[in-house]
């Protein structure tokens, strides 16, 4: 058994509104021919607010890759522990009962992974497995859920902690003025999220099956160009259309497990942007309202990369409790173009103390 318990999510204290974003874009990229189109695209994202780890004036500066990565280390160590503590509490699991930590992030680089620091600082056992995932971008949230599921299948009774730390604002490149870069400047936000996948007990989503799919020959559609100034986000104009080829994959995945992708009880999907959600609703033949949790994340936090699926899942938990055995889909999309998919059903269990399984 592998059961995804209620995630915890934390967002930084510095807030930027859409109106402020548009004003900064006008000032920073004044006179650029792409600016009018970029402003229209930013307005159409529906992102009302985003949260940043620094005041926007500091975000707009570029102190260099080394300083940005130093800030990433400081902020990740500051912001992950309280979110992890909340996630452990939500699951009714102690740190010493965690058998593996999956850490996902695409916005900074540490070696050893932050997992080593967390184990040393937060009371996790020294034999806790470390599974850092750094290069799946926005798909990594779904991948983390799937790898936690796999771990629990391979090691029955184990508990896996998922941690996502995405400080997207540290990748802002003021000198980039292509449409993809300008759009991303108004779309991405910062957040930390965590969740426990329990091997026994707890309340949440029982993970029944998972799968991955890569659209052939699209590996350069979402990418980083790594330069002296850091990570430069590159977005191909064809990316918003990827739901048309991915929807049949999701439908077949559900069908293979005797479910109808158009008739599930809940949907937790990556909110890459409004076009992604609208197209997925169209090609799955569902009402766009079934993605209400993803829409809420997009509106309130922007695209928070791998943390989106955990934040959307948190909103499901905080809504009216799903009926027993309600079925649902979890899906993350990212570079590759990669889709990470999971099917599950709702299960409520009476709380009890877990015991460690070696």
Is position 165 annotated as part of the catalytic site?
no
CA separation for the pair 127, 153 (Å, rounded): 19
Backbone phi, then psi, for 198, in 5-degree steps? Answer: -90, 145
Backbone phi, then psi, for 340, in 5-degree steps? Answer: -115, 120
Q: Which of 10, 36, 7 is nearest to 22 (CA)?
A: 36
Q: Of these residues, 106, 138, 165, 171, which one is catalytic?
A: 138
Return the beta strands (E) in 158-257 as ranges: 160-167, 190-198, 204-214, 222-227, 230-235
Return the beta strands (E) in 105-221 as ranges: 129-133, 160-167, 190-198, 204-214
Instruction: Collapse the DSSP code of 179 into the 3-class scheme (helix H, G, I; strand E, B; otherwise coil) and give the result.
Output: helix
- CA distances to 43, 50, 174, 182 from 178, rounded to whole Å, are 17, 21, 11, 6
CA separation for the pair 156, 354 (Å, rounded): 13
CA angle 101, 103, 106 (to 5 degrees): 170
CA separation for the pair 169, 15 (Å, rounded): 12
Backbone phi, then psi, for 193, in 5-degree steps? Answer: -140, 155
Q: Looking at the annotation, which residues are catalytic?
A: 138
């Amino acid at each position: 058994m592998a059961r995804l318990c209620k995630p915890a999510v934390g967002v930084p204290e510095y807030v930027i509104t859409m109106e402020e974003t548009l004003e900064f874009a006008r000032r920073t990229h004044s006179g650029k021919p792409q600016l009018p189109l970029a402003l229209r695209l930013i307005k159409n994202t529906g992102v009302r607010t985003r949260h940043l780890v620094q005041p926007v004036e500091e975000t707009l500066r570029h102190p260099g890759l080394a300083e940005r990565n130093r800030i990433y280390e400081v902020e990740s160590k500051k912001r992950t522990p309280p979110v992890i503590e909340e996630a452990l509490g939500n699951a009714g699991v102690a740190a010493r009962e965690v058998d593996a930590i999956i850490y996902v992030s695409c916005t900074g680089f540490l070696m050893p992974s932050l997992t080593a620091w967390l184990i040393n600082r937060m009371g996790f056992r020294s034999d806790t497995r470390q599974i850092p995932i750094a290069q799946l971008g926005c798909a990594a949230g779904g991948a983390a859920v799937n790898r936690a599921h796999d771990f629990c299948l391979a090691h029955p009774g184990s508990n896996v902690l998922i941690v996502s730390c995405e400080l997207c604002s540290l990748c802002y490149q003021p000198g980039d003025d292509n449409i993809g870069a300008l759009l991303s400047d108004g779309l991405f936000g910062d957040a930390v999220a965590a969740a426990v996948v329990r091997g026994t007990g707890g309340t949440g989503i029982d993970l029944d099956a998972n799968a991955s799919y890569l659209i052939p020959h699209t590996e350069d559609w979402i990418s980083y160009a790594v330069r002296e100034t850091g990570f430069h986000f590159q977005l191909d104009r064809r990316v918003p259309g990827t739901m048309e080829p991915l929807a049949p994959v999701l439908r077949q995945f559900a069908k293979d497990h005797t479910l109808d992708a158009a008739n599930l009880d809940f949907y937790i999907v990556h909110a890459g942007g409004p076009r992604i959600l609208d197209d997925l609703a169209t090609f799955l033949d569902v009402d766009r309202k079934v993605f209400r949790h993803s829409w809420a994340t997009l509106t309130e936090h922007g695209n928070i990369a791998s943390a989106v699926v955990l934040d959307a899942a948190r909103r499901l938990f905080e809504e009216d409790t799903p009926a027993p055995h309600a079925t649902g889909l979890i899906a993350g999309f990212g570079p590759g173009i990669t889709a990470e998919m999971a099917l599950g059903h709702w299960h409520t269990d009476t709380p009890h103390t877990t015991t460690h399984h070696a």
